[in-house]
Chain A
Amino acid sequence: MPVDWNSVYDFAPNPKIEDFANYSDASELLTEFASNYTSLLVQLHNVFNGHPETYYDTLAGMHQLSSMVAQLFQTQDPRNASRVLGPTWEYVAQASQYAAREGQARPTVEAGEPI
């Protein structure tokens, strides 16, 4: 039995938060996804820069992204009613600890609460 290629949540390719600047509800959801993803990368950065013991807790964060995407897929794209919102894999400076580390890899700084 072949794969049903049409049985998908359809979203506009390569979604960016800035594309939704005029839509505050969508923008908020997309920023939440991106900042949680950035926060996940902070944790992953720390795993490989001195805290290997936190690896499995970090992976659990991926499940949180999954539930956020489920919400995005239930939300209509305000620009196109036949589509839903898609995941914004973007860097959110406020969720990063890059500045707190002064641009260095180490010493690490624990991830804060995502936006």
Chain B
Amino acid sequence: MRVSAAVCAASVALFGAAVPCTAGGGVAVNVGNFGEVPCTDIPERFCIANRFGGESDESGDDPHWKYHPGYYQRQHRRRKREGDAEGSDEEVVGDTMPMDSGVEYVRQLLQTAIEVEHSTIPLYMSAYWSIISNSTSPDDPNFWAGNTIHGVVIEEMLHMTTACNVLNAIGGAPAIDTPDFIPDYPMVLPFVNVSGSIQPFNKATTASFQAIESETKEAVSIASAYVHVLDLLTSLCQTYGEDQIFTGDPSLQLEAQAAGETAPKIMNMSDAVASLLAVSDQGGGCPVPGSEQLWPEVANISAGPLGGGLSHLARFSEIILGMCSLFLLLFASDVPCTGVVTFDLCLQNANTTPTTHLKGDLLERRCQWTGTVSTTSLPTQK
């Protein structure tokens, strides 16, 4: 289903003109060691920094470039876009991931993911609490906006739970009660590279929430970090056997339920793939089946298998668009939807060139769910 241009065009124009591309609330700074995951004991090409920072030189001048994760997938996608239907079947070459230091590295990435998921909660809760509504009716726009943010917070708790479950599943221990766990706001969120400030609800704050959830810059998104984690775990399981990697005590696992949604226990690689990709979808939307090559420029704005209706990105967009009723349009089949909503995303801190890092098999496994598909065209960032 498409979203009605007639209903949304005015709001889009308003949004595009009115939202400044700043998070506001002071200058964001990197704080302490939060999110810095050292990558010294494993081959460089497995380091997440290479995945996140490697867009600068694909010309061949850098001999290490081909060892960066995602290189061949990008080449493959580009050739497909350029009309070579076969693409490239070249395999990524390079060293093998060592087991102990490799697993330890993945644990540290997951610890950072837990910290990122958590660090959204004070941001969102502070904005949610600050909203003054005139009534507790869903027709009250401010009540509706607060309720929308609150729903996202509950899901962030479940995302954090999932990241903890995966960390426990591979023999780690989530470190939550530590002096460094709470970010010193304002801060730049690791993996996402977007600044976040504890502020009252306002348009700029909500725009920064959009940027946090966005996958338009997939090179810097929580989803990309999860895909990297899954890539590394897949590689480790293939090399050493799944039972050597998923060594955690099952009694540590938590099945958490909130607002009709579930964060399941993680017992094996298959659980980890399903859950972390679902978390990614619920945050930033996901590729559209049949149009994967256009992702993330064309994205599914549904929340995916975890539920919640729209992705977090789309829900924050809805608030900024002033109740554009995307949600209604998504579910009310009698509403004519002929246009496409363009989300004007504030991605001032994001990298420049959209690239893809999803490996083919993981890409196919995203959106392996049925349900209403609503697409939106996201502008390519310059």
Contacts and interface: CB of A to CB of B under 8 A. Distances in A.
A38 to B, nearest CB: 8
Interface stretch (A6-14, A20-28, A74-82): A6-14
B322 A3 contact: yes
Residue among A2, A3, A10, A87 with the most chain B CB within 10 A?
A3
Contacts of B350: none
B201 A45 contact: no
A46 B252 CA distance: 10
B256 A55 contact: yes
Interface bracket on A = 35 or more
A30 interface: no
Contact of A14 (B26, B182, B255): B26
Interface string A37-50: 11001101111111
Contact of B182 (A89, A97, A103): A89
Interface class of chain B by DSSP: loop
Given A52-B252, A89-B185, A13 B26 contact: yes
Interface stretch (B126-134, B218-226, B300-308): B126-134
Contacts of A50: 251-252
Interface residues of B, number: 49
Interface string B154-167: 00010001001000
A9 B179 contact: no
Interface string A47-87: 11110100100010000011001100100000000000011
Interface stretch (B51-59, B96-104, B192-200, B326-334): B192-200
B363 interface: no
Nearest to A106: B173
B299 interface: no
Contact of B322 (A2, A7, A15, A48): A2
Given A3-B322, A8-B201, A96-B179, A45 B129 contact: no
Contact of B174 (A5, A14, A66, A105): A105
Interface of B: 24-26, 122, 125-126, 129-134, 139, 141-142, 145, 157, 161, 164, 168, 173-179, 181-183, 185-186, 197-203, 251-256, 258, 319, 322-323
